[in-house]
Structure 1
């Protein structure tokens, strides 16, 4: 598989909605979306140097990089033709200083704001 792999929380309504929208904008099918609820132990070990995979979005890029949080969002936006202008704004140097804490704030509060839904393996 020669796609970027994005690990998302399938119990989070916000995460599921964002994934659905971005998947529709992925015209060239460059991203494979994988629920963290189905992550194997070998993958968990590989990302163990990072935070808990439920805390933020993770991405394995095709060139074997691991991205997390706001960096993942920026990368995803840069891969989708419709969101490239937004991605360019996200790569302006000072935007990361705002984007990282903003991403963490939303991530920490997402269950309180949007609830949690049971995940059913498809």
Structure 2
């Protein structure tokens, strides 16, 4: 089944988020996902989502439509579009319906590390 492309707004200041984005990009063989950092001023200014919400959890949008998802729903939508991992969708959906999926997602999101742009590289980190 053909699905509309999903635009995913991730946090490029989060090493975990960037790592996950890179892994999903590699297995997205049909190019059904587009990733944009909401830290990019051009991206964040064009979104009808408040910056503080973008900083708390991942958001996504069906390309060309004003249909938005966030948190676990974004992960479900992403997995629907990647044949290699679409088998996880029923588990994610069921965990959402039980009320534990979003809580687990939120725990991970709340405890991720943020490294402000241009302050760290492979060899050193200049954060005070």
TM-score when normalising by structure 1: 0.81
Q: CA 1:10–1:89 in 2, change beyond 3 Å: closer, same or farther? A: same
Say yes or no: does 1:3 pair with 2:2: no
1:86 aligns to what? Answer: 88
Indicate which of 43, 46, 50 corresponds to 1:42.
46
d(CA) in 2 for partners of 1:23 and 1:88? Answer: 22
CA distance in 2, matches of 1:25, 1:119: 28
Q: What is the aligned partner in structure 1 of residue 53 from structure 2? A: 52
User: How many correspondences in the alignment?
Assistant: 111
Secondary structure at the aligned position of 2:57 is classed as coil
Any residues of structure 2 matched to 1:13-24 within 5 Å, and which?
A: 13-24=15-26
Does residue 1:118 correspond to 2:117, yes or no? yes
Q: Deviations over 1:73-116 (max 9, x none)?
A: 11101110001111121122xx11111011111111101xxx52
The aligned counterpart of 2:102 is 100
Separation in structure 1 between the aligned mates of residue 20 and residue 44 of structure 2, nearest angstrom = 23
RMSD: 2.1
Moved runs in structure 1, 4+ residues, more than 6 A? Answer: none
